[in-house]
Amino acid sequence: MSKKYCVVGGGIAGLLSAIQLAKAGQKVYLVDKEKDMGGLLRSQMINGISFDYGTHIIAKSHIPEIDELMFDMIQEPEWESLHHLKNGNYFKKLNSTSPFVDTHCLEKNDYDKAIDELKNLKANDGSKIFENLEEQLLFTFGKVLTEKIYQPICQKFFNKPLNELAVNSYLLLGPGRLLAFTADETRELKKEKHLDNALAFHSFLEGIKTHSNFYPSEVGIGLWVNKLLEKIKNCDVTVLNGVQLTNLNLKDKKIASFTINGNQTIECDEVIWTIASPPVFALTGLKTPPPLPGFKFEKVNTSIHHFKSLSKPLTDLHYITCFDPDVLSFRITLYDNLQPNVSEKNNYYRTTVEVLSHGTTDLQTIERKVMNELVTMKIFSRLEDLEVLHSEVMPAGFPLPTKVLKQQEQLQLSCLQEQIENLHFVGRGQGNAFFMNAVLIDTFQKIDGLLKCQ
């Protein structure tokens, strides 16, 4: 039986939802307030040069049904197949062989203590429930690594004590595991599940699937969004972009229709919500639950900075995550290492730097500091070869993943799910999935479950 679905949000979860539903014979309306869909997966042209909104390299999910829906258009020569994703990190020094922080950078006394603690860690049999991030890190990594590695990293990005941050929030920015011991010792220790969760292989060449990462050969990642939108239109999805969702009209605990721009109402049977949940209260007229004690919505300031350089990068890494608390930069994308054919045609090299900050959002101040860091970190050789092409502050920022924020989000979701029977949260809309593949898998499974219940 065919139903009418309203999919809210034109990011990756919304695009997958629309394709999956339409392929199953459903009538789909895809609604997004932005004229250009894709969220942060869009690209932008600056002075005729393509840049992305940060590091976005797509990777297949290795789930055949998802990959057929989302990646069947990925073909050479339009796309570069990255046999190994070369991602490094900066923590006291540049590590060009691994994205994970190397604990060998610690003072010998601290390192020896950390190793002893790691060897004596206990496995979690599932009975251990963590109240906050501090408890989780102490249990997973021990006292020394928590204090010497994770505390300064989380202070840099979140500016909050560990005991105020939500469980798993350290995973949002990358340092899920650490380098320790020798490469051979690590391989042996990782046979224990709890140590596998704490320790990383010593090279990005080890322990990963190959041939699963892709990036466009000449333009930005927005090419993928454009290909998906072509597929969506071919599936007869009604795309409503650049519109304002003004009402979700309730009847008998169900959303019977939605209104856009205050004057066009469209009937629907089910609503797929892929963005943050709070707007639903205003759109339906439902009462927002009162804030929990201590709740205050806070965000990290986020800015994007695009540069070109007359000199070639000093590293062949695709991107670098900067965990060092003395460095303002967060993540650095080196496009010409991803697209070697493009650099051969041009007389310049492109890079984008993402910055998460708690202080100034003065773009010129940030630009100067970041340019100096690119040279200090030995990513580029000469400051005078670097030129700022464009900088902008991202209005949404990055929500601080505090323990009380997660509790408030779950309270709001529960409240809405109890009062609206045909509203379904997927991807980031339900608060748990963050990284692209996790969003894709969560979305596919939720939509698949809905279709099987029809």
In a domain, 325, yes or no: yes
Among residues 399, 414, 438, the one where a domain terminates is: 399
Query: How far, in Å, are 373, 396, 401, 438 from residue 431 at the CA level?
Result: 34, 16, 10, 11
Q: For the chain, give the percent of residues with pLDDT over 70.
A: 98
When divided into structural domains, the chain yields a total of: 3
In a domain, 209, yes or no: no
Q: Which residues pair with 300 in a beta bridge?
A: 398
Q: Is 200 helix (H, G, I), strand (E, B) or coil?
A: coil
- CATH code for the domain in which residue 432 is found: 3.50.50.60
In a domain, 205, yes or no: no
In a domain, 201, yes or no: no
Domain match, 164 and 106 both: yes
Kindly indicate the confidence band of residue 203, based on its pLDDT and cuts at 50, 70 and 90: confident
- Alpha-helical segments (H) within 378-425: 403-419
Domain match, 331 and 288 both: no
Per-residue pLDDT tens for 277-295?
A: 999 999 999 999 999 999 9
Domain match, 406 and 394 both: no
Cis ω for the linkage preceding 77 (within 30 of 0): yes
Cβ-based neighbour number of residue 408 at 10 Å? 20
Domain match, 115 and 170 both: yes
Q: For the chain, give the percent of residues with pLDDT over 90.
A: 87
Domain match, 59 and 122 both: no
pLDDT of 208: 64
Per-residue pLDDT tens for 238-282?
A: 999 999 999 999 999 999 999 999 999 999 999 999 999 999 999
Q: In sequence order, which residues have a C-beta less than 8 Å from that of residue 87 and are 6 or more positions away?
A: 99, 204, 317, 318, 319, 320, 321
In a domain, 90, yes or no: no
pLDDT of 389: 98
CA pair distance 351, 324, nearest whole angstrom: 19
Domain match, 345 and 411 both: no
- CATH code for the domain in which residue 390 is found: 3.30.70
Q: In sequence order, which residues have a C-beta less than 8 Å from that of residue 252 and are 6 or more positions away?
A: none
The structure's pTM equals 0.95
Domain match, 323 and 181 both: no
- CATH code for the domain in which residue 141 is found: 1.10.3110
Domain match, 185 and 243 both: no
> 199 pLDDT exceeds 90?
yes
Domain match, 261 and 121 both: no
pLDDT of 341: 87
CA pair distance 433, 453, nearest whole angstrom: 23
**DSSP character at residue 83:** S
> 441 pLDDT exceeds 60?
yes
Strands 329-334 and 349-357: antiparallel
Among residues 384, 399, 414, the one where a domain terminates is: 399
> 336 pLDDT exceeds 90?
yes
Per-residue pLDDT tens for 378-392?
A: 999 999 999 999 999
Domain match, 359 and 274 both: no
For residue 121, the enclosing domain spans 101-196
CA pair distance 425, 172, nearest whole angstrom: 20
pLDDT of 211: 53
pLDDT of 433: 66
Q: Look at the block and give the residue holding tokens 């608390």.
A: 325
In a domain, 390, yes or no: yes
pLDDT of 198: 95
Kindly indicate the confidence band of residue 210, based on its pLDDT and cuts at 50, 70 and 90: low
Domain match, 105 and 53 both: no
Among residues 399, 420, 438, the one where a domain terminates is: 399
Domain match, 360 and 413 both: no
Mean pLDDT of the chain: 94
> 429 pLDDT exceeds 80?
no
In a domain, 53, yes or no: yes
Which tokens in the block code for residue 296?
A: 């205050």
